[in-house]
Amino acid sequence: MIKKIFIYIALLLPWFFSSIFVHDTSFYQKIAKPFFAPSPIVFPIVWTIIYMMIAFSEWLIVNEYSIKDISKSYKVKLFINYLFNQSFTLVFFTLKSTFLGFVSSIGTFISSLYLYEESTNLNKKSSKYLNLYILWNLFATVLSLAIFILNS
């Protein structure tokens, strides 16, 4: 049981990597936002829940297969999704680029769809834990597009 908890935590922690870097959250306060933009407090709450669900999805797959038996395509799509996901904080808050934030959002959304497909192929139950992630990515992409347009 302890080993399974440790594995889950090991899968969860990397998702918070970009949040440890100092970034200017006041940038979000200063830019023009659409009427449907949530309060800044919503983002860490939602992302924490989503990261926990992504890690659980991964955990279900890791528990069913040994690491070497997990398909290379799943690993590649997970890695690409991870990179896009983590890039948003860097490009939006550190570089203060609404355009690159939008590009990062699109990449995260599209790669999350591919990740969902790969997860479904390995473990249908695990893919269900990615539903909120996909919906939030769709919302974040629309929000990022609106922010880019309003601030261009």
Q: What are the structure tokens assigned to 34, written together?
A: 């659409």
Smallest CA-to-CA distance from 122 within 76, 74, 80, 82 is with 74
The predicted structure's pLDDT at residue 49: 98
Instruction: Say which CATH topology domain 2-150 has.
Output: Ferritin (1.20.1260)
The predicted structure's pLDDT at residue 1: 83
pTM of the model: 0.93
Domain ranges of the chain: 2-150
C-alpha 55/C-alpha 12 separation (Å) is 5
C-alpha 7/C-alpha 11 separation (Å) is 6
Q: What are the structure tokens assigned to 4, written together?
A: 């399974």
Q: How far apart are the first and last CA of the chain?
A: 52
Query: How distant, in Å, are the alpha carbons of 16, 17, 32, 34, 64 from that of 143?
Result: 21, 23, 11, 7, 36
Averaged pLDDT in 10-residue chunks for the chain of 152 residues:
93 92 82 96 96 98 93 97 96 94 98 98 96 98 98 94
